[in-house]
Amino acid sequence: MKWLRALPSQCLACHAWPSQDVLCPDCWQRFATHAPFRCTGCALALPGVGPERPRCGACLRHPPAWHEAHAWMDYHYPWNNLISRWKFGQQPALARYAAHWMLQDARIQAAIDAADVLIPIPLSKERMRERGYNQAALLAQAFKSHKHQLHCLARTHHAMAQSGSTRAQRLRNLRNAFTIDTAQRHHIQGKKVLLIDDVMTTGATLTAASHCLLQAGARQIHVLCMARTP
């Protein structure tokens, strides 16, 4: 496959060379460990055996804007390195790996199958100019479900840098940060939307986007991210 050859042939974690994959088999064994249960509200890993749709106490008290959230992995080493490379290192091809790995998770495959439309969290125009690609859009496309709509949702302004902000600050910054293209509205009205992002940290961005989509007539929102900050 052409995209495989385009990637570095060194294990991202232990630097073993050559490696057939982004991670060598030993590192894959060590780091690709899934949380058996995640809260369907905030996607945080939950201990023990849960009910069919487990919810943590915080999400039971304050239900999120979406119906269900899914995450493939916790945002820890080496996935955090990989995602930084993907985001900032000009390695858009890593989206194909991410999608390939995520689709092995039956819950994620089911969420994609059940959605009417896949919508990536958009970047601002400024970010898009800097980076040249939107990693969430590449991920949505890499699922190859042909349900993605990349231009429904847009950023209204260049939101303030988010790192270090509290959730409340982020929510304030993000109020009205998204808008729906009127001409694209029919893609979401009455539809079950799966919002796609690379990382969920506080969930504030996804919350703001969910509110915008619900206001524009989406029937139900689900959320899917590659990694969840534990």
Judged by the rule CB under 5 A, the positions of this chain that interact with Zn ion are 11, 13-14, 16, 24, 27, 39, 41-42, 56, 59
Q: Which is nearer to Zn ion, 41 or 120 (CB)?
A: 41
How do beta strands 192-200 and 220-228 pair? parallel
Q: Which is nearer to Zn ion, 42 or 136 (CB)?
A: 42
We find the least distance from the C-beta atom of residue 122 to Zn ion, in angstroms, to be 25
Q: Per the structure block, which two tokens stand in for 93?
A: 């091809």
We find the least distance from the C-beta atom of residue 42 to Zn ion, in angstroms, to be 3
Where do we find the tokens 């089911």? 110
Give the C-alpha separation, 72 to 105, whole Å.
7
Give the C-alpha separation, 102 to 105, whole Å.
6
Q: Which is nearer to Zn ion, 53 or 158 (CB)?
A: 53
Q: Per the structure block, which two tokens stand in for 88?
A: 């900032």
Q: Which is nearer to Zn ion, 14 or 128 (CB)?
A: 14
Closest listed residue to residue 179, CA positions, set 125, 230, 116, 108? 125
We find the least distance from the C-beta atom of residue 193 to Zn ion, in angstroms, to be 20
We find the least distance from the C-beta atom of residue 105 to Zn ion, in angstroms, to be 18
Peptide bond into 120 cis (omega under 30): no
We find the least distance from the C-beta atom of residue 70 to Zn ion, in angstroms, to be 12
Contact 79, 228 (CB under 8 A): no
Q: Which is nearer to Zn ion, 188 or 204 (CB)?
A: 204
Q: Per the structure block, which two tokens stand in for 29?
A: 């064994």
